[in-house]
Amino acid sequence: MEPEPLIPARLVCLASGSGRTVENFYEKICAGVLPASIALVITSSIKAGIAERCKRLKIPLLVINPRRYPSTQAYADALLGATLEARPDWVILAGWLRLFPIPSQLEGRVLNIHPALLPAYGGKGYYGHHVHEAVAKDSCTHSGCTVHFATEEYDAGPIVLQEVVTLPKGSTPEEIATLVFEAEKRAYPAALRALIEETAYWEDGKVYWGSN
């Protein structure tokens, strides 16, 4: 008897930048290799590249601008309220540059990807080109990406998987960024698929691989 097909997981994606990661998920979903659907994308600015990308791909988009809220807490409440209203199975941080307030009902359901091999080059201030510039400055021979669960501390949650990238000698930050993003395009959907299929799972703040 064949197993029943998985019900597609509902994703809410948070993106602050161009939205390349969201489009990568969209492409994997359309190709049938990721059993999911994007219920909503949230961004903090209508000027972010993700806005035009969502329009082109016909993905629901919600702009929640922090400048329109009287306090950090009010903004966090609005962000969390919109996320929960969309009833996500998973929250995907896709180039999201703020800490996401994680309530108990979303613990172990919020994923992030970091453009380095954590714990190296992680923490507040290490994002995007800042990471690649630091890697280039240190003349590293390897870098990569890390998919991990998000927590209340930057880049500190339990790791789901990492992909290592070999760097040619003298690689510039731009060249490193290109190589690492190609790894991200593989690693992030692969990690999410493993979690959806429960070949990887969160339990008591740790990640395990195998049957749950």
Label the pairing between strands 200-203 and 9-14. Answer: unpaired
Q: Which amino acid is at 49?
A: G
- In the numeric block, the tokens 């790894």 are attached to 183
Where does 8-106 sit in CATH, by number? 3.40.50.170
Report the chain's mean pLDDT, rounded to a whole number.
94
Question: Which tokens is 108 given?
Answer: 């172990």
Domain parsing of the chain, residue ranges? 8-106, 114-212
Q: Which residue ranges of the chain lie beneath pLDDT 70?
A: 1-6, 211-212
Cα–Cα distances (Å) from 67 to 12, 63, 76, in that order, read 22, 11, 12
Q: What is the pLDDT of residue 172?
A: 97
CA dist 57 and 55 (Å) reads: 6
CATH topology of domain 114-212: Rossmann fold (3.40.50)
Q: Is 55 exposed, middle or buried (0-12, 13-18, 19+ CB in 10 A)?
A: exposed
What is the model's pLDDT at position 3? 55
Active site (annotated) includes residue 142:
no
How far apart CA 189 and CA 193 sit, in angstroms, is: 6
pLDDT of residue 77: 95
Among the options 114, 130, 142, 148, which is catalytic? Answer: 114
Q: In angstroms, rounded to a whole number, what is the distance separating the alpha carbons of residues 198 and 191?
A: 10
